[in-house]
Amino acid sequence: MTFRNRLVATTLFALTFCSPAWAGDSWPQFRGASGDGVSEATNVPLKWSEAENVAWKTPIEGKGWSSPVLANGKLWLTTAITTEASKEAFEKKLKGKPKFQQMTSELAASIQLRAIEIDYATGEIGKQVDLFYIEDPDPIHSTNSYASPTPVLEGDRLYCHFGTYGTCCVDTITGKLVWKNQLPLQHNVGPGSSPVLHDGVMILTCDGADQQYVCGLNATTGEQMWKTDRPPHRKEDGDMQKAYATPLVVTWEGRTMAIVPGAQWDCAYDPLSGEELWRVDHGDGFSNVPRPVFKDGIVYICTGFTRAELWAMSVEGLGDVTDSHVGWTMNKQVPTKPSPVLWKNLLFMVSDRGIATCVDTENGETVWTERLGGNYSASPAIAEERIYFCNEEGKTIVVAPEREFKVLAESQIAGQIMASPLLLDGAIVLRTENSLYRIGKK
């Protein structure tokens, strides 16, 4: 089957084998139930401010760029409560490091990693569960946090991941820890990739500067079920071998795979066994952050830093499919932090510096490019044919997902937005650096 034919596969086939649509009353993982920022929520607010259309605003102790998750009327999020490191400790930790790294790093003397429950209806804080206490942690990038990975909420279990600082499962009914695990890794700028849960397996991206692999933990016990090393890298510098992307699990033509972008290589794995299914050499990109998006047998992946590119590739095939399964690539205004979002045959993305682009998925051609303004880390989300772009300056710009650029609304709140938004029936949940908002009627 040709690449173009795969793009125009029948709607019935896609509905049969792709992730099902979901109701807009839950948000169990990073970018929602399907992991791609697409929501079927209705009556989603269009415009708000600090004084208008805010159901509640709840202060959150500590700092964390993880998105909240929601199920059964309860929101959960993670946060890191830090004590400031001394100037002497900072200088000692970063001694010998490049000057730019010293200028962009933060260091804590200690961190308390915590999960917090918030009532979705009222905004009241419920359980607060201390998960890990870390003394003398490594430095992180000043734009990162020690609690950036988004947890997964399934049933009465909350699965939290903090990279090298620990992974755990919480019983949300009792607030007790079910299990803990730790996978030491050298992140260099702090943890970033979120966990994914599939059929009882917790899939983790472990692409550090010292080692690179993907692994699966038993969701019931926390024990490691499988571990698969990444393919060899051309670059010897560990900084250019690390990555922070969140896996995306998809099913196509009866085959389920976890697609995990990484430095130099994008790979697909069997989520139950860890067997590598295929790999694509995308060049010298590294520190990948955006989560892939998928539709009709084609996955769209951002290649990370150096010169960010967007690649469209078929998920069929086995082995190294670099020369046979890549449809098109583009390299203009591709983000290194926000993930893209798909709508019909169009892909929408925003660069870190606020340039929004609409791409035709059939040929990779740019339909339009417009400046939104501001800086972006949060990934856009879409509901009711509206794309919500949240920038780091607290502004949300709503754009129509069409071939002509059209701004539908702009809203401003106080605070920095780095976490991706939740689009729900009649509401939006936004996290800033010190508060959680539920936008919409009370």
pLDDT per position in the chain (442 positions), as tens? Answer: 444 444 443 333 333 333 333 456 899 999 999 999 999 999 999 999 999 999 999 999 999 999 999 999 999 999 999 998 888 888 888 887 777 777 888 999 999 999 999 999 999 999 999 999 999 999 999 999 999 999 999 999 999 999 999 999 999 999 999 999 999 999 999 999 999 999 999 999 999 999 999 999 999 999 999 999 999 999 999 999 999 999 999 999 999 999 999 999 999 999 999 999 999 999 999 999 999 999 999 999 999 999 899 999 999 999 999 999 999 999 999 999 999 999 999 999 999 999 999 999 999 999 999 999 999 999 999 999 999 999 999 999 999 999 999 999 999 999 999 999 999 999 999 999 999 999 998 7
Gap between the Cα atoms of 288 and 269, Å rounded? 18
- Cβ(119)–Cβ(74) under 8 Å? yes
Q: What are phi and psi of 346, to 5 degrees?
A: -125, 145
Residue spans of the domains in the chain: they are: 67-193
CA atoms within 13 A on the CB side of 230: 28
What's the pLDDT at 24?
A: 66
Global confidence as pTM: 0.93
Gap between the Cα atoms of 432 and 414, Å rounded? 8
Gap between the Cα atoms of 239 and 213, Å rounded? 15
- Measured CA angle at 93 (ends 92, 99), to 5 deg: 90
CATH code for 67-193?
2.40.10.480
Q: What share of the chain is helix, strand, coil (3-state, %, to 5)?
A: 5, 45, 50
Gap between the Cα atoms of 47 and 408, Å rounded? 9
